[in-house]
Structure 1
Amino acid sequence: MKLHYRSIWISDTHLGTKGCKAEYLRDFLDNSESDYLYLVGDIIDCWKFRSGFYWPALHNDIVQRIIKKAKAGTRVVYIPGNHDEMFRKHAGMHFNGIDIQLNAVHKTQDGRRFLVLHGDEFDSIVCHNKSLAYIGGEAYEVLLYINRWFNAIRARLGYKYWSLSAYLKHKVKNIVAFMDNYQHILSLEAQKRKVDGIICGHIHHADISDMEFGKTYANCGDWVESCTALVENAAGQLSIVHWLEDSQRLLDAAPEPQTATGGYAQAA
């Protein structure tokens, strides 16, 4: 039985890179369905194409599954990020059943309004120094490469997956300070836009937490390390799915699907 959610948000899949955990993403898409599916940026990593084209059949499978969901009735909204910013010039277009927008406002079943965007707009490095951001992206790719080998050794020894970059994010004070400041800026934007919260991606760290002014911050994470998605159930509650850890438990406990109403709003 498939998992049914009212809404699903995924971001930072980075299709087109060797770091993308496409096999797990395909498994998640095959075992879940929703009324609304938001692709919250960095879905295709166009930056990586500068250093060579990499597009295995598995990555094409992901695109085809998303198109199939759109044609089957799922409302699919694609909000490009900084790694796939070339698609931003197509905002407002409808392609293969997929709406391309710069951002959107989603209304949950319980009546809350969330501004949905990638989040790079509020990252000072990306906004003001794209060369540095690109170098950082390349360094992150190297870190992922090292992490793959490290975890291959751990797996042979019977240990679970461990994220080196996630460990560093929580240990390096400057990165922790950046994340805190990132949420602060987003809380100001939520207050300005008169919404109840913000749903974003970009920083590869899934989280649901309270921000200033009583706003809610929700980040859907990524599919190069954590393999996480943000989901909304039929009652409008938000939660994070950690597919690597939770998939079997969730599928075993999957209830019969329910039909929900309301939801998607116009672009913000």
Structure 2
Amino acid sequence: MDSIIAYFSSIPPVQAALYAGLFTWGVTAVGAALVFFFREVNRKFLNMMLGFTGGVMIAASFWSLLQPAIDMSEGEGFVKVMPAAVGFVLGALFIFGLDKLMPHLHLNFSKSEGPKSSLHRTTLLVIAIALHNIPEGLAVGVLFGGVAYGLGDASIAGAVLLAVGIGLQNFPEGIAVAMPLRRMGLSRWKSFTYGQLSAIVEPIFAVIGAVAVGFFVPILPYALAFAAGAMIFVVIEEVIPETQAEGHSDVPILGFVIGFVVMMVLDVALG
């Protein structure tokens, strides 16, 4: 891990954000690639992995994004916490707005949202996952972008760990997209293509986030909290409900706890 952190410390933040985004995209592709070997996965296992995804995202939202946003804000009391509060709300509203403006289909294929569209259900599903991957890319990019503007070397470790955590939780997302498409009758190659394509936005928005911070340094606390609000909205609106789609189960809850603890320990101990 030390050598990886040292390497990311030696390259420009935008380049580091691009590499981190490509990594998270690649892990999604690895998850989607399971479609070449299996037609479906055990539903309990997938629910546990999705719960793990939720735990990682919630933990990362606080320790990697909200806490640094509060720490770097000036003032005391309400003044100090306001940038994080405002950014958090704006991030949640951003995803809420995208949900209303963009046609998309949920993972269970039973509920569509946004304007009515003639697009194929497969396309709508990929749009849904892509929309929900935007805050993950932004989070990585904003952290790497902030390295050059006062966060210090420790922020590089935090950014790398955030990318690793997001990569881990992208693995089941790749499965969750590719496997249903395969069951619908799509070829293995098409199922894989759509599954990995859902995360293509992550390296794009990682770069956007890193560049934006460079132009607007004072907004860094708002940007970090914005990414946190967007990520938590996705967890509550999409990830957790999907784990309970076939009835209440304790398995995804245990997965959530494991994911939360893993990300918390990594971030606090190494970040």
The normalised TM-score by structure 2 is 0.28
**Greater relative contact order (Cα < 8 A, sep 6+):** 2
Output the TM-score relative to the length of structure 1.
0.28
